[in-house]
Amino acid sequence: DVISCLDENELKWNACSAGDVAALIADDKVVGVINGRYEFGPRALGFRSILADPRPAENWPRINRTVKFRDDFRPFAPAMLVEDAAAFWGDGAAPVESPYMLLAPVMNDSAAENLGATIHADRTCRLQTVDAAFNPSLHGVLTAFKALTGIGALLNTSLNVSGESIIADVEDLLAMLAFSGLDAIAVDNAILVEKRGNET
């Protein structure tokens, strides 16, 4: 169905893998992703998400201004490999799992240095820890991004613009790709559409 939609709209697309998505993000591209069924709840957990490189602090205002169209102060969260969380968690005595992005622990010096787009002024962040069983697609991109950059984390925010609901399907996502600062969209780490080459 996705391929039919793309072909009907005369859009160029490529087959892709988690590694291809990670490579785009490592190249400082912002990618909208749809993985599996529509998610329901107060947080973006990687099934309908905008993913970006968490390292450059300037990605915080950049994505607020050009993709989300909201105030600069609005924060972003990191999604990180659960096995890497201890490397960024500030309190060694605290738990190091937060699969539903409901905790906002103080992070350590390494997090402040490496996750600049997702760490608040007080060193807290509302992180999500990801394992392969809960979200294999996001886990695959995180693993590939770590292989490329040494950092097993990504900026993760809900797949929508300010005042609008979460993107539900590919047609809505294509519209968002056209009018926002998204550089590419990926569906189930299988189909990739880049803005470059599809300008009309």
pTM attached to this predicted model: 0.96
Q: Please write the tens of the pLDDT for every residue from 122-174.
A: 999 999 999 999 999 999 999 999 999 999 999 999 999 998 989 988 999 99
Q: Are 109 and 91 in contact (CB under 8 A)?
A: no
Q: What pLDDT does 84 receive?
A: 92
How many other CB atoms are found less than 10 A from the CB of residue 92? 8
Q: Please write the tens of the pLDDT for every residue from 75-125.
A: 999 999 999 998 999 877 677 899 999 999 999 999 999 999 999 999 999
Q: What is the rounded CA–CA span in Å between residue 164 and residue 161?
A: 6
Name which residue leads in pLDDT, 198 or 39.
198
Q: What pLDDT does 168 receive?
A: 86
